[in-house]
Amino acid sequence: MLRLIPLLALAALAAPAVHAAAPAAGSAQPGVTLRDDGSDYVLSNAYVTAIVDKHTGNLVSLKYRGLELFGHHSGYSAGYWEQNTGRAPKVIDSVTIDPAANGGARAEVSVKGISEGRMLSPNAPGGGIRCDLELRYALGRDDSGVYTYAIYSHPADYPADHIGESRFAAKLNPDIFDWMTINAEVNKRMLAPRDWVEGTPLNMKEARRLNTGIYKGQVEHKYDYTAVQFDTPAYGWSSTRAFPVAAAGAVSAGDAHIGLWFINPSMEYLSGGPTKVELTGHLDLSNSPDPVLLNYWRGTHYGGSFCPISKGEDWSKVVGPMLIYCNAGTGPQELWHDALRQAASETHEWPYAWVNGVDYPHADQRAVVTGRITVEDPQEPGLHPTSMLVGLSAPDYTTTGWARFGHTPPEVRVGWQTDAKHYEFWVRTSDNQPFTIPNVRPGTYVFHAIADGVLGEFASEKITLKPGEHLDVGRIVWHPVRYGRQLWDIGIPNRSAREFFHGDDYRHWGLYLQYPKWFPQDVDYTIGKSDFRKDWNFEQVPRAPADDINGREPGTSTTWTVHFTLTSAALGDSRSERAILRLALCGIGTRHLYVTVNDRPVGELDDLRYNAVINRDGIQGLWSEHDVIFPASALREGANTLKLTIPGGNPTSGIEYDYLRLELAPDHEPAKRS
């Protein structure tokens, strides 16, 4: 079986061990104990003690070497799934793995709510669910943390449902945790809770200008801590101070820095595939804020996702198990690297042999898909992408979206970027190199590929995988869609605006207010002369008033101009051709984008799908490709100008481009999309 370890985790393998490193198999650790306290289950081993509420399924306490790691000050406290069993007409608690029967090797408890078709957790932030819900917690002898997973079940006789935002969350002890590490970009000492409380609110409830503390004068915005889930195997909080910890097995008592981390051993149960950006952690927004960690499986941010269930549909999904990992060491960096090592180990062990009694195929019941993919583009023969993602997702389907601006809810096509209902399986590869997609659940899928440097994606016909099957798809040749010959392009097709000006330093509230200072005459770009890394801003936004420092005032429309020169040879017989402006968008905050060529209107994009990337300080979200098709006669030999205009409005109501390309194609050939 191929062991898939993120590059960052590989780099971390050389880091020194920390106090919490689990003992080797066969070590003489005390066994797991399980106690029923009437209202709670208490699971304990040498490292941790976890208390589970038998009515709600919440993880109400987690102690590591004698220290309580959960916070109980801020709103909904401790550890919890977004929807729980507390309002279920019938709640069943049970011991699903009894440590008394396995010599103390492992314990697992279950709290299951039978909804009978009624709404569970109607007041949850993401809304309730009309499903049965089972919440499980497991602890092994040598585990330095507790596993949790949720099983959502919708019997055929239940009403239709659409599961909204859903996640596992934990509020942490603010007296311990003051450093947050999501990835190499977000790895910092956090503001003190008091600093948030005394901050000045800005144009959104999640943003405040700080008036006290080490970040006085800066803006705190929780969306500056988002990340691509696929690239974030372990993330969490740690302490910059040492705390007295109890002995744990062979590890002596003493003072140590403490860490708590969320680890997803597999991304198969998360929504939105390998490009999905989600919230990860932040300081809570209450008046007594605790540190927060979040693990979204049905994400709502940066374009969201869908999980519709029809009346008469028998559906279930197992989310997890995920690991809440605890460790102790000499500081935040050592603790993080240890968590990355643990994440690599958990991925190697996936799927877990100890998960039973639910729809969770073990290793011998999962399929493997192998092959290689090659990009062949006659207009770019030297293209050999080194950063590719290949994966399997459910076939596209349609559902009803959400109404905006008073419109009727639209019918939405759901693909791998927005699906939360099914499972997905992705790995990294490069052009013409072998790939292996391991541990695939049996089912029907579509094979996809995306690559940095290639516009669009590859999608296969449906593939049905049987239990235990090894499918070799051989060598796949991907011919990226070209409508015609390319005249020019701007940027790199990578589903992100990172390569543009300031795109490598975007995690700051209010950069949209800086646009008038950076580009006082708007973007004025000349093909063959300008450099998109410094001459093309990472976001096109309305021009905010010069005195607006809080982001509350509307801005005026902005027009970006592209100058390009065409020879007669490049134009060819333009009378029988059409021009196609191909626009790949990774951030959308406006409904309209207007296009003119040589001051002649040639088209517009309207009713664009909002994905909140700009107002949430992002660099990528739900990606989409749009074509503006117009007569090639609008072009002329010599100098040409193309202008892109967004209307005025909220200073975040703009566009983030991934890539732009202008092509000329024969007028009689229909447009097609891979």
Confidence category of residue 669, pLDDT binned at 50, 70, 90: low
Residues 349 and 215 occupy one common structural domain: yes
Instruction: Assess if residue 610 is contained within a domain.
Output: yes
Quick check: 482 and 379 in contact, CB under 8 A? yes
| Average pLDDT for 136-160 | 98
Quick check: 435 and 370 in contact, CB under 8 A? yes
Residues 51 and 197 occupy one common structural domain: yes
Quick check: 496 and 634 in contact, CB under 8 A? no
- What pLDDT digit, counting tens, does each position of 73-104 carry? 877 889 999 999 999 999 999 999 999 999 99
Instruction: Assess if residue 25 is contained within a domain.
Output: no
| CATH assignment at residue 379 | 2.60.40.1120
Closest CA to 425 of 434, 415, 438, 444: 438
What phi and psi, each to the nearest 5 degrees, are found at residue 634? -70, -20
Residues 46 and 131 occupy one common structural domain: yes
Domain boundary among the residues 360, 395, 430 is at 360
What phi and psi, each to the nearest 5 degrees, are found at residue 536? -125, 110
Instruction: Assess if residue 24 is contained within a domain.
Output: no
Residues 349 and 234 occupy one common structural domain: yes
**CB neighbours of residue 638 within 10 Å:** 10
Q: Which amino acid is at 353?
A: A
Convert 340-391 into a string of H (helix), E (strand) and C (coil). Answer: HHHHHHHHHHCCCCCCCCCCCCCHHHCEEEEEEEEECCCCCCCCCCCCEEEE
Domain count of the fold of the chain: 3
In the sheet where 207-209 sits, what is the strand order?
A: 200-201, 207-209, 219-221
Confidence category of residue 21, pLDDT binned at 50, 70, 90: very low
What phi and psi, each to the nearest 5 degrees, are found at residue 153? -130, 130
pLDDT at 75: 75
Domain boundary among the residues 311, 345, 360 is at 360
Contacts 24+ apart (CB under 8 A), 51-56: 52/109, 52/111, 52/137, 53/111, 54/91, 54/93, 54/111, 55/85, 55/86, 55/91, 55/111, 56/80, 56/84, 56/85, 56/86, 56/111
Residues 304 and 435 occupy one common structural domain: no
Q: Which amino acid is at 665?
A: A
Confidence category of residue 605, pLDDT binned at 50, 70, 90: very high
Average pLDDT taken over every residue of the chain: 93
Cβ burial, residue 283 (10 Å; 0-12/13-18/19+):
buried
pLDDT at 403: 53
Residues 272 and 372 occupy one common structural domain: no
Closest CA to 476 of 444, 424, 432, 429: 432
Residues 223 and 290 occupy one common structural domain: yes
Measured CA to CA, the distance from residue 340 to residue 10 in angstroms comes to 8
Residues 413 and 378 occupy one common structural domain: yes
pLDDT at 406: 53
Q: Quick one: tokens of 429?
A: 């590869």
Residues 218 and 352 occupy one common structural domain: yes
Q: Is the pLDDT of residue 129 over 90?
A: yes
- What pLDDT digit, counting tens, does each position of 301-316 carry? 999 999 999 999 999 9
- What pLDDT digit, counting tens, does each position of 377-423 carry? 999 999 999 999 999 999 999 998 765 545 566 789 999 999 999 99
- What pLDDT digit, counting tens, does each position of 313-348 carry? 999 999 999 999 999 999 999 999 999 999 999 999
Measured CA to CA, the distance from residue 171 to residue 41 in angstroms comes to 20
Measured CA to CA, the distance from residue 136 to residue 149 in angstroms comes to 5
Structural domain including 469 reads 364-478
CA distances from 191 to 187, 209, 214, 474 (A): 13, 12, 7, 52
Quick check: 6 and 345 in contact, CB under 8 A? no
Domain boundary among the residues 308, 337, 360 is at 360
Residues 199 and 263 occupy one common structural domain: yes
Give Dmax (Cα) for the chain.
85
Quick check: 172 and 69 in contact, CB under 8 A? yes
Confidence category of residue 235, pLDDT binned at 50, 70, 90: very high
- What pLDDT digit, counting tens, does each position of 431-470 carry? 999 999 999 999 999 999 999 999 999 999 999 999 999 9
Confidence category of residue 26, pLDDT binned at 50, 70, 90: low
Residues 518 and 555 occupy one common structural domain: yes
Q: At 404, is the secondary structure helix, strand, or coil? A: coil
- What pLDDT digit, counting tens, does each position of 250-265 carry? 889 999 999 999 999 9
Residues 469 and 494 occupy one common structural domain: no
Measured CA to CA, the distance from residue 86 to residue 248 in angstroms comes to 34
| DSSP-derived pairing of the beta strands 638-646 and 592-597 | antiparallel
Q: Is the pLDDT of residue 13 over 90?
A: no
